């Protein structure tokens, strides 16, 4: 007499179990697809940012922790680098490296539109140059526009003197990643305003500029510079007097490090006896 209700209950329970299992499987599948996409994006982005891999036609697909790499490179070292990068991504347990090494392979030449990696490099160069100009004693008051494309920098704006203009050009040229500088800054020898004169006097006296700020800006300037081993040079500041220590390659690098440090706003003098080559 109770068979039908029991049958209905059993059927309902089975249907509920199937639905619950299906929802769980769907959620797990969706979650895995998101993970696959995230890992693919992370690997591809690293390739795009790498100067050794960005120009190559590389493709990445990930499924359940296994990354499959395809495309072409000119050297074995680039294929190995691509594999190591993929294997270094969290969650990747296996790499199927199908990249073809072809000594005659020619990466595509830059087109009218920059690649993602090129755009990031150019933006970094622009930011570094703007920062160094802003920190400089003779360049922080300049009206300067910095534009970078494929490492080629164009400077526009005005300067108080030809010396300021030339200094801005040297600062730009000595920045990591810069291959050429088109210095279009015009000299406009107008008298500085009272506020500008007051600011210059304060900078000259070292007022309002802390030693820690100076140390940070000198270190950053050296690290941004292409012809100085910034990471090998120690910087300390005491009452505006900067001390440089460490080892550089030659006299030219020694003199450039001193010049870059001296140009930072707030620096009264630079001591370099401990900077040897």
CA gap 164, 138 in Å, rounded: 6
Q: What is the pLDDT of residues 27-61, one digit of tens each?
A: 667 788 899 999 999 999 899 888 888 888 899 99
Region label for 118, one of left (φ > 0), alpha (ψ between -120 and 50) or beta (otherwise):
alpha
Better-scored residue on pLDDT, 191 or 82: 82
Q: What is the pTM of this model?
A: 0.66
pLDDT of residue 17: 63
Helix (H, G, I), strand (E, B) or coil at 107: coil
Alpha-carbon distance 188 to 155, whole Å?
15
Residue-wise pLDDT for 119-140, tens only, equals 889 999 999 999 999 998 888 7
| CA 154/CA 169 separation, integer angstroms | 9
CATH topology of domain 205-276: 3.30.1340
Return all residues near 135 (Cβ < 8 A) that are at least 6 apart: 217, 220, 221, 264, 265
Separation in Å, CA 138 to CA 122, 182, 237, 241, 259: 24, 20, 20, 18, 12
Q: Where in the chain is the domain with CATH 3.30.1340.30?
A: 12-101
Q: Which two tokens stand for residue 106?
A: 């020619």
Structure confidence at residue 147 as a pLDDT band (50, 70, 90)? very high
| DSSP single-letter state for residue 230 | G
pLDDT for position 85? 94
Contacts of the segment 218-223: beta carbons below 8 A, 24+ positions apart: 218/242, 218/260, 218/261, 218/264, 218/267, 220/131, 220/135, 221/132, 221/135, 221/260, 221/261, 221/263, 221/264, 222/257, 222/260, 222/261
For 116-190, give the CATH class: alpha beta
The alpha carbon of residue 5 and the mean position of all alpha carbons in its chain are separated, in whole angstroms, by 69
For domain 12-101, give the fold.
Answer: 3.30.1340
For tokens 């299906």, the residue is: 22
Mean pLDDT of 1-19: 60
Average pLDDT, the chain: 84
Work out the pLDDT band at 15, boundaries 50, 70, 90: low
Question: Does pLDDT of 193 surpass 50?
Answer: no
């Amino acid at each position: 007499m109770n068979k039908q209700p029991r049958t209905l209950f059993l059927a309902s329970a089975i249907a509920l179990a199937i639905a619950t299992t299906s929802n769980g499987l769907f959620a797990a599948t969706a979650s895995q697809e998101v993970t696959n996409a995230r890992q693919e994006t992370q690997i591809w982005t690293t390739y795009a940012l790498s100067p050794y891999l960005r120009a190559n036609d590389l493709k990445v697909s990930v499924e359940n922790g296994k990354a499959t790499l395809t495309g072409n490179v000119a050297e074995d070292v680039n294929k190995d680098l691509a594999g190591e990068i993929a294997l270094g991504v969290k969650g990747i347990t296996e790499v199927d490296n199908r990249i073809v090494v072809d000594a005659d392979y020619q990466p595509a030449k830059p087109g009218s539109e920059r690649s993602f990696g090129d755009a990031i490099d150019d933006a970094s160069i622009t930011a570094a140059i703007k920062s160094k100009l802003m920190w400089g004693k003779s360049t922080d008051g300049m009206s300067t526009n910095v534009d970078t494309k494929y490492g080629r920098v164009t400077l526009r704006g005005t300067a108080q003197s030809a010396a300021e203009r030339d200094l801005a050009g040297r600062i730009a040229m000595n920045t990591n990643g810069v291959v050429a500088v088109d210095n279009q800054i015009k000299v406009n020898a107008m008298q500085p305003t009272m506020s500008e004169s007051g600011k210059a006097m304060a900078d000259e006296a070292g007022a309002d500029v802390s030693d820690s700020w100076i140390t940070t800006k000198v270190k950053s300037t050296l690290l941004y510079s292409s012809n100085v081993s910034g990471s090998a040079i120690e910087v300390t500041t005491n009452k505006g007097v900067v001390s440089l220590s460490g080892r550089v390659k030659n006299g030219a690098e020694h003199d450039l490090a001193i010049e870059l440090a001296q140009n930072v706003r707030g620096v009264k003098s630079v001591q370099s006896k401990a900077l040897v080559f």
